[in-house]
Amino acid sequence: MTMEAHAIQRHVRQSPRKMRLVADLIRGKNVNEAYAILQFTKKHAAKQIEKTLRSAVANAEQAALKQNASLDVDDLVITKAVINMGTPLKRYTAAAQGRGVPIKKRTSHVEIHVGTKESE
């Protein structure tokens, strides 16, 4: 029996393009290996992705408790890590001759799925 769980963090105040650089590092990795990679990655996105990953692992543990199944956290693997674009914050900055120029402050939605690998 495979155990699946996921977590979504919405409206993270960083552009999806920057967050995808970090998400690509951990996709398909073991959860413990992913924690180590995220801990030593210098990018700001690593902190937000780690937060979502911890939530996904906790969700897997809770699902296992609910089904009265055994779950070893060390066997969990990141099956899917997706960074989607959130709603951009629209701001304006001053420009020449009294004009205002729009600025899009981009946000991201982080979605991480964890599961156990089928070893049969």
Return the CATH number at 106. Answer: 3.90.470.10
- pTM metric for this prediction: 0.91
The 10s digit of each residue's pLDDT in 93-102 is 999 999 999 9
Q: Which domain holds residue 28?
A: 4-116
Helices (H) and strands (E) in the chain, counts: 3, 5
Give the confidence band of 103 by pLDDT, cuts at 50, 70, 90.
very high
Statement: residue 2 has pLDDT above 80: no
100-111 average pLDDT score = 97
In the predicted model, is pLDDT for residue 3 greater than 90?
no
Please say if the pLDDT value at position 90 is more than 70.
yes
- Measuring CA to CA, how many Å separate 112 from each of 6, 20, 89, 98, 104? 6, 12, 24, 45, 25
Indicate the number of domains in the chain. 1
80 forms beta bridges with: 113
The pLDDT score that the predictor gives to residue 120 is 39
Tens of pLDDT, residues 4-35: 999 999 999 999 999 999 999 999 999 999 99
